[in-house]
Amino acid sequence: MPAMSDERPHVYIGLRGPEEALARISEVCEVTSFEGVGIPDRDELLAGVAAADGIIGSAQLPIDAAVLAAAPRMRVISNFGVGFDNVDVAAATARGVVVCNTPGVLSDAVADLTMGLLLSLARRLPEAERFLREQRWKPGASMALGTDVAGKTLGIIGLGRIGRAVSRRAVAFGMDVVYHDAVRDPPGDAAFCTYRDLDELLAAADFVSLHVNLTEATTALIGERALALMKPTAYLINTARGGVIDQAALVAALQRGELAGAALDVFEREPPAPDEPILQLPNVIALPHIGSGTVETRRAMLELAIDNLLAALRGERPPCVVNPEALG
């Protein structure tokens, strides 16, 4: 690798990662790593970025204007993840800081989990497991029946890479797939699905699955009005970002029986508080944000995040840039 400059750049790694992968960074950079559990707290983050030319962050680590102001040397924010709603991209761009993410390498893992949740809702898998373990499975006693997915309609909101991967899987399960996206005819692989207006999709779907970025336009997109349009027999799946759903409105709709159930890998606040109303509902499946959580996918994400970081520090165009206008 060519020398980056006379002085080795400083990098703050705001997450715990496998040593052998992170060694790629320390070969050419001075590294300060977060050594604690979870994510650095605010003070640790502010101290960590003070001398940093680059940072590896993640969905859980807010990098806002104040963090950027505390990091006068910062040139690149490399997110370990496809989402970048944790970063104030406008503030980064204004400072000429390049923001990078890891699209593509996690699409299959997230789509697999989405289908797992869809099938778990349809076939009542968590409930069936409890039924057996709690010894309610007696001769002649049976639990409530599930529902077929073949012939049912899946409504995908957000037909990006992950939405298309979900669509391909759902078509293979015999489902009719409709989608809504800000881009009416996304180029390339149309993934065998048909465009619908948002309201039409919500009214037609037996399952609705969310695959949009969290932006101002998508915050609380699924609120009281959208939920009221859904069939009372329909299920909602969210492997995108918790903020896309108005969680209080979802709790109210589920309690009123206006929706059959929901499966959530993401929440407005993560982790949710133990007494969070959404966690008290029997027709909710809740997972701890594991959409990309496979060994292979997390490894590929980290490699791509490191590729992005090192390319930007060398002054080259990184493979995946969110704000190309910051490249100067």
Where in the sequence numbering do the catalytic residues fall? 241, 270, 289
Q: Site residues (CB under 6 A) for ligand 8YV?
A: 58-60, 80-83, 106, 289, 291-292
102 with 305: CB under 8 angstroms? yes
The residue among 289 and 314 lying less far from ligand 8YV, judged by its C-beta, is 289
- Paired with 284 in beta bridges are 262
CB of 151 to ligand 8YV, least distance (A): 32
Q: Closest approach of Cβ 98 to ligand 8YV, in Å?
A: 18
- Alpha-carbon span 170 to 177, nearest angstrom: 7
Contact 134, 286 (CB under 8 A): no
Look at residues 116, 202, 93 and name the one whose alpha carbon lies nearest to residue 154: 202
Of 81 and 318, which CB lies nearer to ligand 8YV in the complex structure? 81
Taking CB atoms, the residue at the shortest distance from ligand 8YV is 81
Q: Smallest gap, in angstroms, from Cβ of residue 212 to ligand 8YV?
A: 12
Q: Which residues, 6+ apart, have CB-to-CB distance to 269 below 8 Å?
A: 242, 276
Shortest CB 59 distance to ligand 8YV, Å: 4
Look at residues 184, 231, 225, 170 and name the one whose alpha carbon lies nearest to residue 205: 231
CB closer to ligand 8YV, 238 vs 292: 292
Q: Reading across the β-sheet that carries 235-238, which strands appear in turn?
A: 194-195, 176-180, 153-157, 207-210, 235-238, 261-264, 284-286
- Return d(Cα 37, Cα 15) in angstroms, integer: 9
Nearer to ligand 8YV, 19 or 185 (CB): 19
